Each structure stands twice: as C-alpha cells, then as structure tokens.
Amino acid sequence: MTLDFSRDKPIYSQLVDRICGDILKGNLSLGDRLPSVREYAVETGVNVNTVQRVYKELEAMQMTETKRGQGTFITTNEERIIQLRDDMKKQLAQSFLTSIEALGFSKEEMILVLQQK
Amino acid sequence: MTLDFSRDKPIYSQLVDRICGDILKGNLSLGDRLPSVREYAVETGVNVNTVQRVYKELEAMQMTETKRGQGTFITTNEERIIQLRDDMKKQLAQSFLTSIEALGFSKEEMILVLQQK
DNA sequence: CATAGTGTAATATACAACTAGTACACTATG
DNA sequence: CATAGTGTACTAGTTGTATATTACACTATG
C-alpha cells in the first residue's frame, strides 16, 4: 500500500480518520480484527509507534478493544458506533459553522455552494 | 486586549483568520491601515515576529499591501477581495466535503444537520 | 538632517508534537 | 516451556512554532 499523507495534519490523525471512516461506512464490520501494529505499519509505510498511537486513539474513543497478545478488534457494541457516528456528524457540522462564521459567511450561502457540487 | 488562542492551531494562523474575517465582513474597510507590528504585538500579547508572519501571510494573499516605513494597509483592490471571498468559500466547502466523505457521511444528511442549527 | 515610527531580517533559545528505533511484556500455540 | 506474534514503553531526533533580542532599512515629520 504505502499511502500518501497530507502534510497539514499528523499521520496518526489521518489514519484514525481513515479507519473511523471504514468502520462507519461498514467497510469493516463489528468484531473484525485490525492488522497488527507491525503489519499495518508496513502496509502504510509508517512507524510502529505511529500505528500504536492510532490504535490507542481508537480505543480511547471506544471504537475498538485491544487485547494484549491477541490484537485490536472493532467493538461489538453497535450502539457505541451509532452514537459515535452521530457525535462526529454534529462535531463536523459545528466546526464548519464556526469556520464560516469567523470568515463572515452565512450558513445559507454555504449550503448553496454545497448543493452545487 | 490580550486574546485567547486555541491550542489546536498556530497563533499566527488564528490571527490571519481573524483579520481576514474582519476584512471580509467589512469590519475593516479597503485602504484601512492595520496597527503596526509592534502595536499589534502588544495588543494581542504575542511576539513581534509572530505579527510579522501574520502580515507576511496577508500580503502573500494580496489581501494587504505593505509599505516600508509607513505601515500595512488593506488592499484597495476590491476585485481582489471579492475573489478572495469566493475562493475561501469554495475552499471551505471543498474541505468540508472531503471530511464528511472520509467519514462516510452524505452531503444531504449533513445539510440537514446544518439547517437544524 | 535628526528623530521617531514604520517594516524587515538574523540569530539564538525553548518547547511541544510527531516520528523512529529499540527493547520489553503479555498471550496463544505447538 | 519455547517460540512467534501480539501490544507497550522508553529514548532520542526532527520539525514547526513562538519568543527574545538585536540590528538594519525605509519614510514622514519637525
């Protein structure tokens, strides 16, 4: 694989987003095992510690459960996933609103732009 | 003044946003002179070099014009401001779309959330 | 033409975030 | 109980950001 990473955001953060996305989209199923930190490090071309940080973040979000010696698994708690999905949606919307307000755009004009794309 | 800065973004970047916003919103008018780097540094409680970086960025965006010995002024080129406003609007929209796509949200469902706020 | 107020530049320092290399600790399995 | 495969922890180096300090270059003004 060896992914491309944008430089304006930490790699670990981009990987968290990617995995979150895969889970929320259903590309990964509840209970699935993620690659080991070493495997995933090789796949993506980053350091083991970076992957560890990714898995740590995911676990802190209660999106995964980590078992030493066994691996990291996507939570089987479906409610938690649903809740996370909703939280993220709200958070995305809120930070978007904050940004546009800071630059003086109205919600309505931005929605128009979005609809045109 | 002595502003509060969020820790998740560089200070210089937050100041750029603030001034951009003030210009785009019309709080600052075309041709207005910004405070001197030293004044603004004291006002905001940051270092002169940080303010200098802010003014440099603004000039690179052609949002201001800097005259050595005189000060930094908001461009009188109204077209440029209009263009910047439009560019930023599109850029905001695009990065929003990229984010929501990465996490598996649809444009439509996000617009609904935005409208409810 | 001296002076004070502009922006600009260079250097050193400090600190935090990020990443990498390496070694350690736990678990399943034959 | 040895071994291979897990996650974890420690240390160090790099980079970006911010600060402090100092000096320089230009402009307006008395």
The mean of the pLDDT values for chain B is 94
Q: Do A110 and B88 touch (CB under 8 A)?
A: no
Give the one of A18, A20, A92 whose C-beta lies nearest to B110's C-beta.
A92
What pLDDT is attached to residue B37? 97
For residue A81, name the pLDDT band (cuts at 50, 70, 90): very high
* DSSP assignment string, A75-111: -S-HHHHHHHHHHHHHHHHHHHHHHHHHTT--HHHHH
For the purposes of burial, counting CB atoms within 10 Å of the CB of A82, is it exposed (0-12), middle (13-18) or buried (19 or more)?
Answer: exposed
Which residues in 22-61 of chain B line strand D, with CB less than 7 A from it?
A: 45-50, 53
Q: Is the dihedral of CA A71, A76, A77, A83 positive or negative?
A: positive
* Chain B residue closest in CA terms to A15: B102
For residue A15, name the pLDDT band (cuts at 50, 70, 90): very high
- Mean pLDDT along residues B78-100: 95
B5, pLDDT greater than 80: yes
Q: For B22-40, what is each residue's pLDDT tens digit?
A: 999 999 999 999 999 999 9
Q: Is the CB of A47 under 7 A from strand D?
A: no
- Mean pLDDT along residues B66-81: 95
- 3-class DSSP state of A71: strand
